[in-house]
Chains A and B, each alone.
Chain A
Amino acid sequence: MKVLEKQAKTVDEAVKLALDELRVSREEVEVDILEEGNKGILGFLSKSAKVRVTVKPKPEEIAVNFLKGILNFIDSDAEIKSSLEDDILKLEIESKDAGILIGKHGSNLDALQYLTSLVVNKNCKDFVRVVLDAENYREKREETLERLAIKMAEKVKETKKSIVLEPMYPNERRIIHTALQKDRRVTTKSVGKEPYRRIVISLR
């Protein structure tokens, strides 16, 4: 973490000096005022202001560092790409052997994503949603879930009986709800408690 202390006539000037030297903007740092400074009388008894400027770690840096630390133990050749848009931090692992990082139904990917999100949000003031992906798994899973939703809805219409799906995480349930929202003949709802909450598809 970069820290810099600066002295100037006023607090604002001292902060500006520090920002210029660190080449960052005001939003990227935290400022501690060590001495307020005093103009004195006609220049007599004046005291200069002193500030400590700390560059805040960026969410993408925290996330990539944390993940790299873990990947060293699992798959040391993996590379991580990150991009931050609004409050969504997208991370993509590039690896020859992504299978172990994804796991069954993405369980390993979800676990890594959850831990990364905890670490990022512990160190950042504003909440950031972390989305971790490898080999486009998320997109593929979304397509699979949409297909499953449509297939199950057809079955409900045929048999006129409700169907209860496997327990899923909120983000996966949302995909199913959305996929069937426009279907006028069936309705979806979630029942049970996390992490065993599951979707029920029934006739309207």
Chain B
Amino acid sequence: MIELVEYIAKALVDHPENVTVNQVEGEQSIILELKVDPEDMGKVIGKQGRIAKAIRTVVKAAAAKEGKRVVVEII
């Protein structure tokens, strides 16, 4: 799942070299922490979080296929 988040984020931002994703195992779910260049924050969040929501939706769909619960956090 890390690769998927990284892949989407890199395609959206202007500084793909500064994209990192960390995985934190939660009790019931996996938390993926997405970090991007400060200049690119808007590119992964969007107006009213629309881009962030779309990323979460796609990652959730991929995770559901594997029977996992995944949360994407942008930090």
Contacts and interface: CB of A to CB of B under 8 A. Distances in A.
Interface-central residue, A69, A101, A103, A111, by most chain B CB under 10 Å: A111
A75 B4 CA distance: 13
Contacts of B58: 70, 74, 108, 111-112, 115
Contacts of B48: 194-195
A107 interface: yes
B12 A103 contact: no
Interface residues of A, number: 21
Contacts of A107: 57
Contacts, number: 56
Contacts of A112: 54, 58
A114 interface: yes
A194 B53 CA distance: 13
B62 interface: yes
A107 B54 CA distance: 9
Nearest to B60: A108
B13 to A, nearest CB: 9
16 contacts: A69-B7, A74-B58, A74-B65, A103-B61, A108-B61, A110-B54, A110-B57, A111-B55, A111-B61, A112-B54, A115-B58, A118-B12, A119-B11, A194-B48, A195-B48, A195-B50
